[in-house]
C-alpha cells in the first residue's frame, strides 16, 4: 500500500510540475523569457517557479488569438484574476508563475459561447473550445461556469472566459460561479461597483493589446486584499492546472 501511495505522489509531482522550470524568480533580480527581460520588484512570499518559455509563449499566443476572436464577434472582454494582477501590478503577461489566463465578459454572451457555431468559429481562429463535463448554458456548477479556450490541437495552456452580470438588487457587477434554469450562483469575492469596471480601458501591456477594468487597482484589492500591490504570493506548483486538463474524460470538445 505504501508503495502505491508513493507512486501516486511521484506521478502527481511530475505531472503538476510539467510546465515549470526549477528556476526561481527572485526580488530585484532580472529574469528572461524569450528575448524579454523582466524584474520583479515586490517581495515574494513563498517560491516563484518560472514557467517554461515555450509555455509562456503559447499563453501569449492564446491570449492574442482569443482577444481577436471575441473582438471580432463584438464582445467586450477584459483581463481578470491573475492575468489582470500580472498586467497591472507586474506589467507582465502572463505572470511568470501563473499557468492559466482569465477573462471576463458579459452574461449576455453566455448562450452563444456554449453553442456549436462558436466552437466552429473558434476553430477558424486556430482555437479549441473546452466545456467541463455536462455544463450547459442553462446548468453549470463552479467548475463549469466558464468557457475554456486552448490553441488548436493542444490541451494547454488554457484561457478561462468567465461571465459577469449586473446585479440590480444592489447595483453590483458580479462574476458568476454557476447557474441553473432559474437562479445564479454569484461569487462572494468578485463583487464590484459598476464604475470600477466600466468603461473598459484598452492598454498595451508587455507588448500585448488588452482591455482592463476602469479602476483595475480597486478591483484587484477587492479580490485579493489590501496588500496585493505590496507582495507577490505565487501558487504552489503542486496545484497547477496541468492535471485536470490532462484528463480528456471530463471535457467536452
- pLDDT digit string, tens, across residues 91-146: 999 999 999 999 999 999 999 999 999 999 999 999 999 999 889 999 999 999 99
* Chain length of the chain: 253
Parallel, antiparallel or unpaired: strands 251-252 and 127-132: antiparallel
* Range 12-19 average pLDDT: 74
Q: Is the pLDDT of residue 237 over 80?
A: yes
Cα–Cα dist 232/42, whole Å: 6
* Range 214-222 average pLDDT: 98
Cα–Cα dist 38/56, whole Å: 13
Q: What is the pLDDT of residue 177?
A: 98
* Range 185-206 average pLDDT: 98
* Range 2-20 average pLDDT: 63
Cα–Cα dist 190/160, whole Å: 15
The 3 state secondary structure assigned to 98-142 is CCEEEEEEEHHHHHHHHCHHHHHHHHHCCEEEEEECCCCCCCECH
Above pLDDT 90, what percent of the chain? 83
pLDDT digits (tens, 9 = 90+) for 25-70: 999 999 999 999 999 999 999 999 999 999 999 999 999 999 999 9
Domains detected in the chain: 53-229+244-252 (3.30.460)
Q: What is the pLDDT of residue 245?
A: 75
Q: What is the pLDDT of residue 14?
A: 60
Q: What is the pLDDT of residue 1?
A: 61
pLDDT band at 8 (very low <50, low <70, confident <90, very high): very low
Q: What is the pLDDT of residue 35?
A: 92
Q: Is the pLDDT of residue 181 over 90?
A: no
Q: What is the pLDDT of residue 4?
A: 47
Q: Is the pLDDT of residue 13 over 70?
A: no
The rounded mean pLDDT for the chain is: 93
Q: What is the pLDDT of residue 98?
A: 95
Above pLDDT 70, what percent of the chain? 94
Phi first, then psi: give them for residue 246, nearest 5 degrees: -90, 5
Residues in contact with 68: Cβ distance below 8 Å, sequence separation at least 6, in sequence order:
125
Cα–Cα dist 118/121, whole Å: 5
Q: Is the pLDDT of residue 151 over 60?
A: yes
Amino acid at each position: 500500500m505504501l508503495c502505491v501511495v508513493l507512486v501516486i505522489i511521484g506521478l502527481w509531482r511530475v505531472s503538476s510540475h510539467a510546465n515549470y522550470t526549477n528556476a526561481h524568480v527572485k526580488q530585484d533580480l532580472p529574469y528572461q523569457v524569450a528575448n524579454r527581460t523582466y524584474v520583479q520588484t515586490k517581495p515574494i512570499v513563498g517560491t516563484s517557479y518560472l514557467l517554461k518559455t515555450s509555455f509562456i509563449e503559447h499563453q501569449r499566443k492564446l491570449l492574442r488569438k482569443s482577444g481577436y476572436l471575441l473582438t471580432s464577434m463584438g464582445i467586450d472582454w477584459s483581463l481578470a484574476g491573475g492575468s489582470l494582477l500580472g498586467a497591472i501590478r507586474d506589467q507582465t503577461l502572463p505572470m511568470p508563475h501563473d499557468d492559466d489566463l482569465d477573462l471576463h465578459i458579459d452574461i449576455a454572451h453566455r448562450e452563444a459561447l456554449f453553442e456549436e457555431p462558436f466552437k466552429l468559429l473558434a476553430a477558424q481562429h486556430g482555437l479549441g473550445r473546452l466545456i467541463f463535463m455536462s455544463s450547459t448554458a442553462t446548468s453549470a456548477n463552479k467548475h463549469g461556469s466558464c468557457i475554456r479556450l486552448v490553441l488548436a490541437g493542444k490541451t494547454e495552456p488554457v484561457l478561462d472566459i468567465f461571465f459577469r452580470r449586473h446585479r440590480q438588487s444592489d447595483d453590483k457587477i458580479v462574476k458568476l460561479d454557476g447557474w441553473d434554469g432559474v437562479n445564479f450562483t454569484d461569487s462572494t469575492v468578485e463583487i464590484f461597483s459598476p464604475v470600477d469596471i466600466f468603461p473598459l480601458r484598452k492598454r498595451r501591456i508587455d507588448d500585448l493589446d488588452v482591455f482592463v477594468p476602469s479602476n483595475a487597482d480597486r478591483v484587484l484589492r477587492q479580490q485579493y486584499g489590501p496588500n496585493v500591490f505590496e507582495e507577490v504570493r505565487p501558487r504552489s506548483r503542486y496545484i497547477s492546472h496541468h492535471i485536470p486538463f490532462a484528463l480528456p474524460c471530463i471535457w467536452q470538445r
